[in-house]
Chain A
Protein backbone atom coordinates (compact mmCIF):
# COMPACT_ATOMS: atom_id res chain seq x y z
CA UNK A 1 0.00 0.00 0.00
CA UNK A 2 1.47 3.32 -0.99
CA UNK A 3 1.86 5.78 1.85
CA UNK A 4 -0.52 8.67 1.64
CA UNK A 5 1.31 11.85 0.93
CA UNK A 6 -0.50 14.92 2.22
CA UNK A 7 1.29 17.00 -0.40
CA UNK A 8 -0.50 15.05 -3.11
CA UNK A 9 -3.74 16.75 -2.13
CA UNK A 10 -5.11 19.60 -4.15
CA UNK A 11 -3.22 22.82 -3.36
CA UNK A 12 -6.04 24.44 -1.44
CA UNK A 13 -7.22 21.23 0.08
CA UNK A 14 -10.92 20.51 0.20
CA UNK A 15 -13.25 23.40 0.67
CA UNK A 16 -10.43 25.95 0.55
CA UNK A 17 -9.42 25.34 4.14
CA UNK A 18 -6.29 27.21 5.32
CA UNK A 19 -3.17 25.02 5.51
CA UNK A 20 -2.60 25.91 9.15
CA UNK A 21 -5.56 23.75 10.10
CA UNK A 22 -3.74 20.73 8.82
CA UNK A 23 -1.73 20.54 11.97
CA UNK A 24 -3.76 18.82 14.60
CA UNK A 25 -1.76 18.24 17.78
CA UNK A 26 -4.35 15.80 19.11
CA UNK A 27 -3.70 13.46 16.22
CA UNK A 28 0.05 13.45 16.96
CA UNK A 29 -0.44 12.36 20.53
CA UNK A 30 -2.79 9.56 19.63
CA UNK A 31 -1.47 6.05 20.19
CA UNK A 32 -0.42 4.07 17.14
CA UNK A 33 -3.16 1.74 16.03
CA UNK A 34 -2.37 -1.64 14.48
CA UNK A 35 -1.85 -1.25 10.76
CA UNK A 36 -4.84 -3.27 9.56
CA UNK A 37 -7.27 -1.57 11.91
CA UNK A 38 -5.80 1.88 11.50
CA UNK A 39 -8.15 4.50 12.82
CA UNK A 40 -7.49 8.13 12.24
CA UNK A 41 -4.09 8.09 10.73
CA UNK A 42 -1.30 8.99 13.04
CA UNK A 43 1.11 9.96 10.27
CA UNK A 44 3.11 12.96 11.26
CA UNK A 45 1.29 16.20 10.80
CA UNK A 46 -2.07 14.48 11.11
CA UNK A 47 -3.19 15.80 7.77
CA UNK A 48 -6.94 15.42 7.36
CA UNK A 49 -6.47 13.44 4.17
CA UNK A 50 -4.92 10.78 6.36
CA UNK A 51 -8.31 10.28 8.01
CA UNK A 52 -9.15 8.15 5.01
CA UNK A 53 -9.52 4.43 5.57
CA UNK A 54 -6.49 2.38 4.65
CA UNK A 55 -5.65 -1.26 4.27
CA UNK A 56 -6.06 -4.01 1.72
CA UNK A 57 -9.08 -3.30 -0.44
CA UNK A 58 -10.89 -6.42 -1.64
CA UNK A 59 -12.01 -7.06 -5.17
CA UNK A 60 -15.60 -7.78 -6.09
CA UNK A 61 -16.98 -10.46 -8.38
CA UNK A 62 -20.54 -11.09 -9.55
CA UNK A 63 -21.23 -14.63 -10.78
CA UNK A 64 -24.46 -15.23 -12.69
CA UNK A 65 -26.29 -12.85 -10.40
CA UNK A 66 -30.05 -12.76 -10.77
CA UNK A 67 -32.35 -10.22 -9.13
CA UNK A 68 -36.08 -10.00 -9.71
CA UNK A 69 -38.74 -7.66 -8.40
CA UNK A 70 -41.90 -9.69 -8.83
CA UNK A 71 -41.97 -10.69 -12.48
CA UNK A 72 -39.56 -7.96 -13.44
CA UNK A 73 -36.05 -9.39 -13.89
CA UNK A 74 -33.66 -6.56 -13.08
CA UNK A 75 -30.37 -8.45 -13.29
CA UNK A 76 -30.14 -11.52 -15.52
CA UNK A 77 -27.16 -13.78 -14.87
CA UNK A 78 -24.86 -10.85 -14.53
CA UNK A 79 -21.10 -11.50 -14.50
CA UNK A 80 -18.49 -8.87 -13.83
CA UNK A 81 -15.62 -8.20 -11.52
CA UNK A 82 -13.85 -5.25 -9.98
CA UNK A 83 -10.18 -5.44 -9.10
CA UNK A 84 -8.96 -4.50 -5.60
CA UNK A 85 -8.72 -0.74 -5.39
CA UNK A 86 -10.28 -0.25 -8.79
CA UNK A 87 -12.68 2.66 -9.41
CA UNK A 88 -15.61 1.63 -11.52
CA UNK A 89 -18.48 3.77 -12.69
CA UNK A 90 -21.79 2.21 -13.68
CA UNK A 91 -23.80 4.13 -16.24
CA UNK A 92 -26.97 3.35 -18.12
CA UNK A 93 -30.62 4.32 -18.42
CA UNK A 94 -32.78 4.20 -15.30
CA UNK A 95 -34.08 0.74 -14.58
CA UNK A 96 -30.97 -0.83 -16.08
CA UNK A 97 -30.09 -2.40 -12.73
CA UNK A 98 -27.06 -0.32 -11.75
CA UNK A 99 -28.45 0.91 -8.45
CA UNK A 100 -29.64 -2.63 -7.70
CA UNK A 101 -26.01 -3.77 -7.96
CA UNK A 102 -25.00 -1.33 -5.23
CA UNK A 103 -28.00 -2.25 -3.09
CA UNK A 104 -27.18 -5.95 -3.37
CA UNK A 105 -23.62 -5.23 -2.25
CA UNK A 106 -24.95 -3.24 0.72
CA UNK A 107 -27.41 -6.09 1.53
CA UNK A 108 -30.35 -3.73 1.11
CA UNK A 109 -31.83 -6.12 -1.44
CA UNK A 110 -31.82 -9.89 -1.27
CA UNK A 111 -30.03 -11.91 -3.90
CA UNK A 112 -32.25 -14.26 -5.94
CA UNK A 113 -29.59 -16.37 -7.61
CA UNK A 114 -25.86 -16.48 -8.30
CA UNK A 115 -22.90 -15.48 -6.15
CA UNK A 116 -21.40 -12.19 -5.08
CA UNK A 117 -17.78 -12.30 -3.94
CA UNK A 118 -16.12 -9.66 -1.81
CA UNK A 119 -12.46 -10.56 -1.60
CA UNK A 120 -12.42 -14.34 -1.31
CA UNK A 121 -15.68 -14.67 0.55
CA UNK A 122 -19.23 -14.81 -0.70
CA UNK A 123 -21.52 -12.06 0.56
CA UNK A 124 -24.85 -13.85 0.53
CA UNK A 125 -23.63 -17.38 1.24
CA UNK A 126 -21.49 -19.04 3.85
CA UNK A 127 -19.80 -22.39 4.25
CA UNK A 128 -21.40 -24.83 6.61
CA UNK A 129 -20.33 -28.47 6.69
CA UNK A 130 -18.55 -28.09 3.37
CA UNK A 131 -21.73 -26.82 1.76
CA UNK A 132 -22.72 -23.37 0.64
CA UNK A 133 -25.78 -22.17 2.52
CA UNK A 134 -27.62 -18.83 2.59
CA UNK A 135 -25.88 -16.33 4.84
CA UNK A 136 -27.13 -15.74 8.37
CA UNK A 137 -27.34 -12.35 10.10
CA UNK A 138 -23.90 -12.89 11.64
CA UNK A 139 -22.18 -13.55 8.32
CA UNK A 140 -23.86 -10.52 6.75
CA UNK A 141 -22.73 -8.41 9.69
CA UNK A 142 -19.13 -9.56 9.19
CA UNK A 143 -19.24 -8.95 5.45
CA UNK A 144 -20.83 -5.50 5.77
CA UNK A 145 -17.81 -4.36 7.77
CA UNK A 146 -15.93 -3.96 4.50
CA UNK A 147 -18.61 -2.01 2.67
CA UNK A 148 -19.84 1.56 3.02
CA UNK A 149 -22.46 3.43 1.04
CA UNK A 150 -23.39 7.02 0.32
CA UNK A 151 -27.00 7.60 -0.68
CA UNK A 152 -28.64 9.93 -3.15
CA UNK A 153 -30.73 11.50 -0.37
CA UNK A 154 -27.86 11.57 2.21
CA UNK A 155 -30.02 9.79 4.82
CA UNK A 156 -28.39 11.50 7.79
CA UNK A 157 -30.04 10.70 11.11
CA UNK A 158 -32.18 13.70 12.09
CA UNK A 159 -32.22 12.60 15.73
CA UNK A 160 -28.47 13.22 16.06
CA UNK A 161 -26.23 16.19 15.44
CA UNK A 162 -23.46 16.06 12.84
CA UNK A 163 -20.78 14.76 15.20
CA UNK A 164 -23.08 12.09 16.59
CA UNK A 165 -23.95 10.97 13.07
CA UNK A 166 -20.25 10.30 12.56
CA UNK A 167 -19.48 8.70 15.90
CA UNK A 168 -22.55 6.51 16.45
CA UNK A 169 -21.40 3.76 14.08
CA UNK A 170 -17.75 3.66 15.18
CA UNK A 171 -18.77 3.54 18.85
CA UNK A 172 -21.71 1.14 18.65
CA UNK A 173 -20.57 -1.11 15.82
CA UNK A 174 -16.77 -0.94 15.75
CA UNK A 175 -16.46 -0.64 19.51
CA UNK A 176 -14.24 2.45 19.49
CA UNK A 177 -14.10 4.54 22.63
CA UNK A 178 -16.08 7.77 22.48
CA UNK A 179 -12.82 9.77 22.43
CA UNK A 180 -11.32 7.80 19.58
CA UNK A 181 -14.53 8.08 17.60
CA UNK A 182 -14.76 11.83 18.16
CA UNK A 183 -11.16 12.25 17.10
CA UNK A 184 -11.74 10.25 13.94
CA UNK A 185 -14.94 12.17 13.24
CA UNK A 186 -13.21 15.53 13.65
CA UNK A 187 -10.47 14.47 11.27
CA UNK A 188 -13.05 13.53 8.67
CA UNK A 189 -15.13 16.67 9.18
CA UNK A 190 -11.96 18.66 8.68
CA UNK A 191 -11.29 16.75 5.48
CA UNK A 192 -14.76 17.45 4.09
CA UNK A 193 -14.41 21.11 5.07
CA UNK A 194 -17.10 21.15 7.76
CA UNK A 195 -14.98 21.25 10.90
CA UNK A 196 -17.10 24.10 12.26
CA UNK A 197 -20.39 22.23 11.85
CA UNK A 198 -19.94 19.37 14.28
CA UNK A 199 -22.70 20.59 16.59
CA UNK A 200 -25.07 21.56 13.80
CA UNK A 201 -28.26 19.68 13.18
CA UNK A 202 -28.49 17.95 9.77
CA UNK A 203 -31.51 20.06 8.77
CA UNK A 204 -29.47 23.24 9.30
CA UNK A 205 -27.06 22.24 6.55
CA UNK A 206 -27.36 22.72 2.81
CA UNK A 207 -27.80 19.64 0.67
CA UNK A 208 -24.15 19.74 -0.35
CA UNK A 209 -23.01 20.00 3.25
CA UNK A 210 -25.31 17.16 4.25
CA UNK A 211 -23.87 14.98 1.52
CA UNK A 212 -20.32 15.79 2.63
CA UNK A 213 -21.26 14.76 6.16
CA UNK A 214 -22.80 11.57 4.77
CA UNK A 215 -19.55 10.82 2.94
CA UNK A 216 -17.60 11.41 6.14
CA UNK A 217 -20.03 9.17 8.02
CA UNK A 218 -19.48 6.34 5.56
CA UNK A 219 -15.69 6.78 5.74
CA UNK A 220 -15.74 6.80 9.55
CA UNK A 221 -16.62 3.11 9.38
CA UNK A 222 -13.36 2.53 7.48
CA UNK A 223 -14.88 0.59 4.61
CA UNK A 224 -12.63 -1.04 2.01
CA UNK A 225 -15.34 -0.78 -0.60
CA UNK A 226 -17.31 2.43 -1.04
CA UNK A 227 -20.57 2.55 -2.95
CA UNK A 228 -21.75 5.90 -4.30
CA UNK A 229 -25.38 5.88 -5.40
CA UNK A 230 -26.08 8.99 -7.51
CA UNK A 231 -24.64 11.09 -4.74
CA UNK A 232 -25.04 14.42 -6.51
CA UNK A 233 -28.44 13.89 -8.17
CA UNK A 234 -30.40 15.42 -5.31
CA UNK A 235 -28.20 18.52 -5.07
CA UNK A 236 -28.76 21.98 -6.46
CA UNK A 237 -26.42 22.51 -9.43
CA UNK A 238 -24.15 24.98 -7.62
CA UNK A 239 -23.52 22.48 -4.81
CA UNK A 240 -22.55 19.58 -7.05
CA UNK A 241 -18.98 20.71 -7.65
CA UNK A 242 -17.99 20.78 -3.97
CA UNK A 243 -19.10 17.21 -3.41
CA UNK A 244 -17.48 16.01 -6.61
CA UNK A 245 -14.17 17.68 -5.73
CA UNK A 246 -14.26 15.96 -2.37
CA UNK A 247 -14.86 12.56 -3.93
CA UNK A 248 -12.09 13.17 -6.48
CA UNK A 249 -9.70 13.89 -3.62
CA UNK A 250 -10.79 10.78 -1.78
CA UNK A 251 -10.36 8.66 -4.88
CA UNK A 252 -6.91 10.11 -5.47
CA UNK A 253 -5.71 9.76 -1.91
CA UNK A 254 -7.03 6.39 -0.83
CA UNK A 255 -6.79 2.90 -2.18
CA UNK A 256 -10.41 2.06 -1.58
CA UNK A 257 -12.43 0.01 -4.07
CA UNK A 258 -15.02 2.38 -5.50
CA UNK A 259 -18.30 1.61 -7.23
CA UNK A 260 -20.11 4.66 -8.45
CA UNK A 261 -23.48 5.14 -10.11
CA UNK A 262 -23.77 8.59 -11.63
CA UNK A 263 -25.24 10.62 -14.46
CA UNK A 264 -22.44 13.18 -14.35
CA UNK A 265 -20.23 12.07 -17.21
CA UNK A 266 -17.36 14.48 -16.58
CA UNK A 267 -17.18 13.33 -13.01
CA UNK A 268 -17.27 9.70 -14.11
CA UNK A 269 -14.41 10.41 -16.51
CA UNK A 270 -12.29 11.95 -13.74
CA UNK A 271 -12.91 9.42 -11.06
CA UNK A 272 -12.99 6.04 -12.73
CA UNK A 273 -10.50 3.53 -14.10
CA UNK A 274 -13.25 1.74 -15.96
CA UNK A 275 -16.82 2.45 -17.04
CA UNK A 276 -19.53 -0.18 -17.37
CA UNK A 277 -22.52 0.63 -19.55
CA UNK A 278 -25.66 -1.22 -18.43
CA UNK A 279 -28.92 -1.85 -20.13
CA UNK A 280 -31.70 -4.21 -19.04
CA UNK A 281 -29.61 -5.92 -16.38
CA UNK A 282 -26.69 -6.71 -18.65
CA UNK A 283 -23.39 -5.04 -19.46
CA UNK A 284 -23.58 -3.57 -22.93
CA UNK A 285 -20.07 -2.26 -23.13
CA UNK A 286 -17.12 -1.62 -20.88
CA UNK A 287 -13.75 0.04 -21.07
CA UNK A 288 -11.66 2.96 -19.88
CA UNK A 289 -13.60 6.22 -19.64
CA UNK A 290 -11.84 7.81 -22.62
CA UNK A 291 -13.01 4.97 -24.83
CA UNK A 292 -16.60 4.76 -23.54
CA UNK A 293 -17.17 8.50 -23.62
CA UNK A 294 -14.91 9.19 -26.63
CA UNK A 295 -15.57 6.40 -29.07
CA UNK A 296 -18.27 4.04 -27.83
CA UNK A 297 -18.65 1.01 -30.05
CA UNK A 298 -22.24 0.13 -29.17
CA UNK A 299 -25.22 1.98 -30.55
CA UNK A 300 -27.06 1.76 -27.22
CA UNK A 301 -24.15 3.48 -25.45
CA UNK A 302 -24.10 6.24 -28.06
CA UNK A 303 -27.85 6.76 -27.71
CA UNK A 304 -27.62 6.89 -23.96
CA UNK A 305 -24.71 9.33 -23.90
CA UNK A 306 -26.45 11.56 -26.39
CA UNK A 307 -29.61 11.59 -24.29
CA UNK A 308 -27.64 12.44 -21.15
CA UNK A 309 -25.64 15.20 -22.81
CA UNK A 310 -28.85 16.70 -24.21
CA UNK A 311 -30.17 17.42 -20.73
Chain B
Protein backbone atom coordinates (compact mmCIF):
# COMPACT_ATOMS: atom_id res chain seq x y z
CA UNK B 1 0.00 0.00 0.00
CA UNK B 2 1.30 3.44 -0.91
CA UNK B 3 1.06 6.66 0.93
CA UNK B 4 -2.14 8.50 -0.09
CA UNK B 5 -1.35 12.23 -0.19
CA UNK B 6 -4.88 13.21 -1.12
CA UNK B 7 -6.25 11.36 1.88
CA UNK B 8 -3.56 12.84 4.15
CA UNK B 9 -4.68 16.31 3.14
CA UNK B 10 -8.34 15.50 3.70
CA UNK B 11 -7.90 14.23 7.24
CA UNK B 12 -5.66 17.09 8.35
CA UNK B 13 -8.55 19.26 9.67
CA UNK B 14 -9.79 16.35 11.79
CA UNK B 15 -6.34 15.86 13.24
CA UNK B 16 -5.92 19.55 13.99
CA UNK B 17 -9.25 19.44 15.78
CA UNK B 18 -7.92 16.62 17.92
CA UNK B 19 -4.68 18.52 18.49
CA UNK B 20 -6.72 21.31 20.04
CA UNK B 21 -7.96 18.98 22.78
CA UNK B 22 -4.49 17.56 23.26
CA UNK B 23 -3.07 21.04 23.81
CA UNK B 24 -5.92 22.07 26.13
CA UNK B 25 -5.58 18.93 28.23
CA UNK B 26 -1.79 19.23 28.42
CA UNK B 27 -1.71 22.90 29.36
CA UNK B 28 -4.59 22.79 31.84
CA UNK B 29 -3.17 19.64 33.40
CA UNK B 30 0.24 21.32 33.61
CA UNK B 31 -1.16 24.23 35.59
CA UNK B 32 -2.67 21.78 38.08
CA UNK B 33 0.60 19.85 38.24
CA UNK B 34 2.66 22.98 38.92
CA UNK B 35 0.40 24.26 41.70
CA UNK B 36 -0.52 20.98 43.34
CA UNK B 37 3.10 19.82 43.23
CA UNK B 38 4.12 22.83 45.28
CA UNK B 39 1.30 22.09 47.72
CA UNK B 40 2.57 18.51 48.19
CA UNK B 41 6.10 19.77 48.76
CA UNK B 42 5.08 22.31 51.36
CA UNK B 43 2.78 19.82 53.11
CA UNK B 44 5.69 17.42 53.39
CA UNK B 45 7.60 20.03 55.35
CA UNK B 46 5.00 20.13 58.10
CA UNK B 47 6.33 19.39 61.59
CA UNK B 48 4.13 16.30 62.07
CA UNK B 49 6.00 13.14 61.16
CA UNK B 50 2.85 11.10 60.69
CA UNK B 51 1.37 13.71 58.38
CA UNK B 52 4.61 13.88 56.38
CA UNK B 53 4.71 10.14 55.89
CA UNK B 54 1.03 10.08 54.91
CA UNK B 55 1.65 12.71 52.22
CA UNK B 56 4.74 10.86 51.11
CA UNK B 57 2.89 7.59 50.59
CA UNK B 58 -0.07 9.24 48.89
CA UNK B 59 2.19 10.89 46.32
CA UNK B 60 4.24 7.72 45.98
CA UNK B 61 1.04 5.81 45.31
CA UNK B 62 -0.14 8.22 42.63
CA UNK B 63 3.29 8.37 41.02
CA UNK B 64 3.90 4.64 40.80
CA UNK B 65 0.54 3.59 39.37
CA UNK B 66 -0.35 3.92 35.68
CA UNK B 67 -2.32 6.79 34.23
CA UNK B 68 -4.98 4.71 32.45
CA UNK B 69 -6.46 2.97 35.53
CA UNK B 70 -6.24 6.34 37.27
CA UNK B 71 -8.28 7.83 34.44
CA UNK B 72 -10.85 5.07 34.89
CA UNK B 73 -10.93 5.73 38.60
CA UNK B 74 -11.58 9.45 38.22
CA UNK B 75 -13.96 9.09 35.31
CA UNK B 76 -16.05 6.22 36.65
CA UNK B 77 -15.70 6.44 40.42
CA UNK B 78 -16.31 10.14 40.98
CA UNK B 79 -19.79 9.93 39.39
CA UNK B 80 -20.54 7.01 41.70
CA UNK B 81 -19.84 9.45 44.54
CA UNK B 82 -22.22 11.96 43.01
CA UNK B 83 -19.65 14.14 41.23
CA UNK B 84 -20.42 14.22 37.54
CA UNK B 85 -17.65 15.44 35.25
CA UNK B 86 -17.04 15.32 31.54
CA UNK B 87 -14.31 13.15 30.09
CA UNK B 88 -12.05 16.09 29.19
CA UNK B 89 -12.28 17.46 32.73
CA UNK B 90 -11.56 14.02 34.15
CA UNK B 91 -8.59 13.73 31.82
CA UNK B 92 -7.22 17.12 32.81
CA UNK B 93 -7.61 16.44 36.52
CA UNK B 94 -5.99 13.00 36.31
CA UNK B 95 -3.10 14.18 34.18
CA UNK B 96 -2.55 17.16 36.48
CA UNK B 97 -2.72 15.19 39.72
CA UNK B 98 -0.53 12.41 38.31
CA UNK B 99 2.21 14.80 37.28
CA UNK B 100 1.89 16.90 40.44
CA UNK B 101 3.63 14.03 42.21
CA UNK B 102 6.56 14.40 39.81
CA UNK B 103 6.76 18.17 40.13
CA UNK B 104 6.62 17.75 43.92
CA UNK B 105 9.85 15.73 43.75
CA UNK B 106 11.39 18.36 41.50
CA UNK B 107 10.50 21.16 43.92
CA UNK B 108 11.81 19.13 46.84
CA UNK B 109 15.14 18.55 45.13
CA UNK B 110 15.26 22.20 44.08
CA UNK B 111 14.72 23.38 47.66
CA UNK B 112 17.30 20.91 48.95
CA UNK B 113 19.65 22.41 46.37
CA UNK B 114 19.45 25.90 47.90
CA UNK B 115 22.70 26.21 49.85
CA UNK B 116 22.47 25.85 53.62
CA UNK B 117 24.19 29.20 54.01
CA UNK B 118 21.10 30.88 52.57
CA UNK B 119 18.95 29.54 55.40
CA UNK B 120 21.55 30.51 57.94
CA UNK B 121 21.76 34.00 56.51
CA UNK B 122 17.96 34.31 56.89
CA UNK B 123 18.21 33.25 60.51
CA UNK B 124 21.02 35.71 61.07
CA UNK B 125 18.87 38.47 59.58
CA UNK B 126 15.96 37.31 61.71
CA UNK B 127 13.61 37.23 58.70
CA UNK B 128 10.06 36.03 59.37
CA UNK B 129 9.31 32.58 58.00
CA UNK B 130 7.02 33.73 55.21
CA UNK B 131 9.69 36.14 53.97
CA UNK B 132 12.31 33.40 54.04
CA UNK B 133 10.20 31.24 51.76
CA UNK B 134 8.79 33.89 49.44
CA UNK B 135 11.84 36.13 49.08
CA UNK B 136 14.81 33.81 49.47
CA UNK B 137 14.20 30.08 49.11
CA UNK B 138 11.46 29.72 46.50
CA UNK B 139 12.87 32.22 43.98
CA UNK B 140 16.21 30.38 44.04
CA UNK B 141 14.67 26.92 44.02
CA UNK B 142 12.29 27.66 41.16
CA UNK B 143 15.09 29.08 39.07
CA UNK B 144 16.97 25.82 39.46
CA UNK B 145 14.04 23.60 38.55
CA UNK B 146 12.66 25.48 35.53
CA UNK B 147 14.37 23.25 32.91
CA UNK B 148 13.25 20.06 34.66
CA UNK B 149 9.70 21.38 34.90
CA UNK B 150 9.89 22.13 31.19
CA UNK B 151 10.73 18.47 30.61
CA UNK B 152 7.59 17.43 32.44
CA UNK B 153 5.48 19.60 30.16
CA UNK B 154 6.81 17.57 27.24
CA UNK B 155 6.25 14.34 29.17
CA UNK B 156 2.61 15.30 29.81
CA UNK B 157 2.13 16.14 26.16
CA UNK B 158 3.36 12.67 25.28
CA UNK B 159 1.12 11.00 27.85
CA UNK B 160 -1.98 12.89 26.70
CA UNK B 161 -2.94 10.25 24.07
CA UNK B 162 -3.83 7.95 26.98
CA UNK B 163 -6.86 10.16 27.53
CA UNK B 164 -8.49 8.32 24.66
CA UNK B 165 -9.06 5.51 27.16
CA UNK B 166 -11.94 7.63 28.50
CA UNK B 167 -12.95 8.88 25.01
CA UNK B 168 -11.41 12.31 25.10
CA UNK B 169 -11.35 13.40 21.45
CA UNK B 170 -7.64 14.22 21.47
CA UNK B 171 -5.16 13.84 18.62
CA UNK B 172 -4.64 10.07 18.55
CA UNK B 173 -8.34 9.47 19.14
CA UNK B 174 -9.17 11.60 16.09
CA UNK B 175 -6.56 9.80 14.04
CA UNK B 176 -7.99 6.47 15.08
CA UNK B 177 -11.52 7.54 14.23
CA UNK B 178 -10.73 8.83 10.75
CA UNK B 179 -8.69 5.69 10.19
CA UNK B 180 -11.53 3.46 11.33
CA UNK B 181 -13.94 5.25 8.99
CA UNK B 182 -11.84 4.62 5.87
CA UNK B 183 -9.87 1.62 7.16
CA UNK B 184 -6.73 3.53 6.20
CA UNK B 185 -4.72 3.77 9.42
CA UNK B 186 -1.27 4.28 7.97
CA UNK B 187 -1.57 7.96 7.11
CA UNK B 188 -3.34 9.34 10.19
CA UNK B 189 -1.27 7.45 12.76
CA UNK B 190 2.02 8.10 10.99
CA UNK B 191 1.13 11.78 10.80
CA UNK B 192 0.38 11.85 14.52
CA UNK B 193 3.66 10.08 15.24
CA UNK B 194 5.64 12.57 13.18
CA UNK B 195 3.82 15.45 14.84
CA UNK B 196 4.81 14.13 18.26
CA UNK B 197 8.43 13.77 17.24
CA UNK B 198 8.55 17.26 15.76
CA UNK B 199 6.94 18.87 18.79
CA UNK B 200 9.12 16.90 21.22
CA UNK B 201 12.36 17.64 19.41
CA UNK B 202 11.61 21.34 19.14
CA UNK B 203 10.55 21.57 22.75
CA UNK B 204 13.55 19.68 24.04
CA UNK B 205 15.77 22.11 22.16
CA UNK B 206 13.92 24.91 23.96
CA UNK B 207 14.37 23.14 27.28
CA UNK B 208 18.08 22.73 26.63
CA UNK B 209 18.24 26.45 26.00
CA UNK B 210 16.46 27.02 29.31
CA UNK B 211 18.99 24.72 30.96
CA UNK B 212 21.87 26.80 29.69
CA UNK B 213 20.18 30.00 30.72
CA UNK B 214 19.41 28.86 34.25
CA UNK B 215 22.51 26.75 34.71
CA UNK B 216 23.64 27.19 38.28
CA UNK B 217 27.03 25.60 37.95
Q: Do A and B touch each other in the complex, judged by CB within 8 A?
A: no
Could you tell me which A residues sit within 8 Å of B by CB distance?
A: none
Q: B residues near A, CB below 8 A?
A: none
